[in-house]
Amino acid sequence: MINPNQINPIGIGTYQLDLENQDKTLKALLHSVEQGQNFMSTSLLYADKKVVDFLCEFFKKVRKEDIFLTCHLEPYIEKREDVEKQLDEYLQRMNIDYVDSLQVHMSYASKIPLLETYEEIDKLVKKGKVKYISASNTSLETLKELQNHFKLFSFEGVYNLECKYYENVGLIDFCQENNIRFVCYQALRRNNIAKMNYPFLVEMAKKYDKTQNQILLNWLIKEKGLHTIIKTNTIQNIDSNLSALDFTMEVEDREKLNAFQDQRFNQIEIDWENQGGITIDKLASQFKID
């Protein structure tokens, strides 16, 4: 099993993996592992369980012990037994014996009290089917409540140059103060940040002879101390992402990135109960560029 301190900060995202070209995608994933990537996050929701089924082929080539795997509990958990039932589906579909980390994807996924769901996750840890308890897409108040009852390993949430909600409300600080790894998804906002061509970011890319996305990954990991999840279907992009960590930015450039954010995101009220508004998992998907 992987030592948590040895987890590569650039994780393997599996949302929207290219399942039309499975041989090519599998080769890319195997290349990721060869290059040292050893963290992966996935969900039964992705492509209606087809991604998880595809990962069964991946785990035929890669030892489970060499991958730190996080799985999500999805809507809806209507009774306590649903927690282990969902986990067992992950295990059966990927033909593995355990997952490293299990978390509720969104708080509203649990129709029973969230603490009861996490009590069931804790039971699965005791059974050895799960190694760590994690959380995802919650408010700071909910995260604090969970941390009061369980020792959380990580928190998966949206964070990038433009959308700094979790930093603004103090959740990232709370994670760092409590030794909870913050794993940011949509770190590049699916290339939408680069498409904006912010002059200061374009200038930095030229200055360091890097792409805008490499500048962003370097900042997130080396300056902010965060982990990331990046999905890519090509070996070229994998190599590009990993080479984002082979340089150091000057203090003034890091400070520019620290100070910037798109205020449009800050004007959105988060719908934590999924009542028809913008839920936290959809926040960074706003203001896309076609």
**pLDDT digits 0-9 by tens, 237-268:** 999 999 999 999 999 999 999 999 999 999 99
What are phi and psi for residue 82, nearest 5 degrees? Answer: -65, -25
Q: How far apart are CA 104 and CA 100, in angstroms?
A: 14
CA distance 251 to 198: 19
Residue 290 has pLDDT above 80, yes or no: no
- Other beta carbons less than 10 A from residue 79's beta carbon: 13
Confidence band for 200, pLDDT divided at 50, 70 and 90: very high
The closest alpha carbon to 50, from 19, 72, 76, 23, belongs to: 19
User: Is the pLDDT at 1 greater than 90, yes or no?
Assistant: no
2-6, 141-145, 177-181: range with lowest mean pLDDT:
2-6
Average pLDDT value for residue range 77-103: 98
Contact 215, 204 (CB under 8 A): yes
98 close to 129: Cβ distance less than 8 angstroms: yes
Q: Is the pLDDT of residue 2 over 90?
A: no
CA distances from 103 to 10, 61, 126, 193, 205 (A): 19, 26, 15, 28, 36
Q: Which of 112, 151, 149 is nearest to 134 (CA)?
A: 151
Q: What average pLDDT score do residues 219-237 get?
A: 96
Q: What is the pLDDT of residue 46?
A: 98
- Asked if residue 33 lies in contact with residue 1, where contact means CB atoms within 8 angstroms, the answer is no
pLDDT in the model for residue 271: 97
Q: pLDDT over 70 for what percent of the chain?
A: 100
Q: How many residues does the chain have?
A: 290
Per the listing, tokens 């960590």 go with 245
Q: How confident is the model at residue 45 (pLDDT cuts 50, 70, 90)?
A: very high
> Distance between CA atoms of 285 and 270, rounded to whole angstroms?
13
**One CATH from 3.40.50.10300, 3.20.110.20, 3.40.50.720, 3.20.20.100 for 4-285:** 3.20.20.100
Closest by CA to 274, choosing from 118, 106, 112, 157, is 106
233: its two tokens: 């279907």
- Maximum Cα interatomic distance, the chain, rounded to a whole number of Å: 55
Three-state SS for 177? Answer: helix
Q: Over 90: is that where the pLDDT of 229 sits?
A: yes
pLDDT in tens, 145-194: 999 999 999 999 999 999 999 999 999 999 999 999 999 999 999 999 99
Tokens of 265: 């995101």
CA–CA distance, 34 with 62 (Å, rounded to integer): 10
Question: In this structure, are residues 14 and 129 in contact, taking their beta carbons and an 8 Å threshold?
Answer: no
Query: What does the block give as tokens for 83?
Result: 């927690």
Residue % of the chain over a pLDDT of 90: 97
Output the six-digit token pair for 33: 């592992």
At 117, the pLDDT band (50, 70, 90 cuts) reads very high
For residue 95, the one-letter residue type is N
Domain ranges of the chain: 4-285
pLDDT score for 289: 83
CA nearest neighbour of 137 among 158, 121, 168, 163: 158
Strands (E), 24-142: 39-42, 68-73, 99-104, 130-136
Q: What is the β-pairing status of strands 68-73 and 99-104?
A: parallel
